Amino acid sequence: MLTADMLADLWPHGDSRVPGLIAGIAAAAPAVFPKYGLKSDLVIAHAMAQFSHECGAGTEMTENIRYTPERACAVWPSRFSSAADCLRKVGSTAGDPNFPMKLIDNVYGNRMGNRPGTHDGSTFIGRGLSQVTGRDGYTKLGAKTGLDLLGHPEIISSAASALECGVADFVLCGCLPFAENDDISGVTFHLNGGHIGEAERTAWLKRWKVALGSASPQAHGTVWLQMSLNKLGADPALVPDGSFGPLTAAAIRAFQASHGLQADGRATPETIAAIEAALNAT
């Protein structure tokens, strides 16, 4: 089962945007996952891998809409030919503090259920673990969860409700059967509508499988080593990224030295056995 320690390991800055997010997700996990049919560690790993990518491991819980006219042209070149053209089309002027809102209302207006001539576009921006976007998305998710997301869209990214909203959206998007079949491509397509960031999502899945115990340590040895050494007090803490670099070797040497092993920084069978024994003793 998902724990706060796992989240702290994999999302080291997870509380930076929403204070208490890690604790909130961990507290909700025992009830939320079974409520929405996520019954195995494999399926939970798939959901958490997608969330990790979508919300930047907790650091991007609300879509950043602070565009400049120049940046808007780069992002939407088919809409705006120049900064001046952008300002004209969105009804703004240089230095207008409301430019971002006007821009997003223009770009997202009359799409995803957003009503033209309203502030739906800038109100129902991407939020939460799965980055729900658009009035239609908020409406469907609100109906699924029973939460007033149209009246209070910020609920989606709150510490108390983030996991339920993310998991409910995962199910609404049709991801569940693909997760049950361990199909990362299918899960990504149904949540994302394409395959944007699939390599990163796959890397996250690898890490979450190890953390949740749905993959053997031998299958992803370096990630398992890094997370295990962190649990045993590695200082400095390691980033569990699967890259066996000098910091990981140094942490192994420190562990070996403190357990009467040859301190060579290699993940020998004796070292792995000692790490497993130390974990079991904690």
82 and 119 belong to one structural domain: yes
138 and 108 belong to one structural domain: no
Q: Which amino acid is at 101?
A: M
Q: Give the residue from 123, 141, 167 where a domain finishes.
A: 123
Number of independent structural domains in the chain: 3
Q: Residue 184: give its domain's CATH number.
A: 1.10.530.10
Tally of CB atoms within 10 A around 217? 17
147 and 41 belong to one structural domain: yes
142 and 227 belong to one structural domain: no
SS3 assignment for 40-56: CHHHHHHHHHHHHHHCC
Contact call for residues 179 and 42 (beta carbons, < 8 A):
yes
134 and 205 belong to one structural domain: yes
Contact call for residues 258 and 238 (beta carbons, < 8 A):
no
Helix axes 269-281, 221-231, angle to 10 degrees: 40
141 and 275 belong to one structural domain: no
Strands (DSSP E) along 45-137, which ranges?
none
95 and 157 belong to one structural domain: no
Tally of CB atoms within 10 A around 95? 6
Task: For residues 162 and 22, give the distance between their C-alpha atoms in angstroms, rounded to a whole number.
Answer: 10
15 and 76 belong to one structural domain: no
91 and 165 belong to one structural domain: no
Q: Give the residue from 165, 182, 212 where a domain finishes.
A: 212
Q: Among 234, 241, 253, which residue's Cα sits nearest to residue 211?
A: 241
pLDDT of the chain, 282 residues: tens digit per residue = 799 988 998 999 999 999 999 999 999 999 999 999 999 989 999 999 999 999 999 999 999 999 999 999 999 999 999 999 999 999 999 999 999 999 999 999 989 999 988 999 999 999 999 999 999 999 999 999 999 999 999 999 999 999 999 999 999 999 999 999 999 999 999 999 999 999 999 999 988 987 887 554 444 467 778 888 999 999 999 988 777 889 999 999 999 999 999 999 988 778 888 898 898 887
pTM, two decimals, is 0.75
132 and 256 belong to one structural domain: no
Task: For residues 126 and 55, give the distance between their C-alpha atoms in angstroms, rounded to a whole number.
Answer: 9
Contact call for residues 142 and 128 (beta carbons, < 8 A):
no
202 and 142 belong to one structural domain: yes
Buried b (16+ CB within 10 A) or exposed e, 249-268: ebbbbbbbeeeebebebebe
Q: Residue 266: give its domain's CATH number.
A: 1.10.101
Q: Give the residue from 212, 242, 261 where a domain finishes.
A: 212
Collapse the DSSP code of 136 into the 3-class scheme (helix H, G, I; strand E, B; otherwise coil) and give the result: helix
Task: Tell me which residue range forms the domain holding 110.
Answer: 69-123
52 and 175 belong to one structural domain: yes
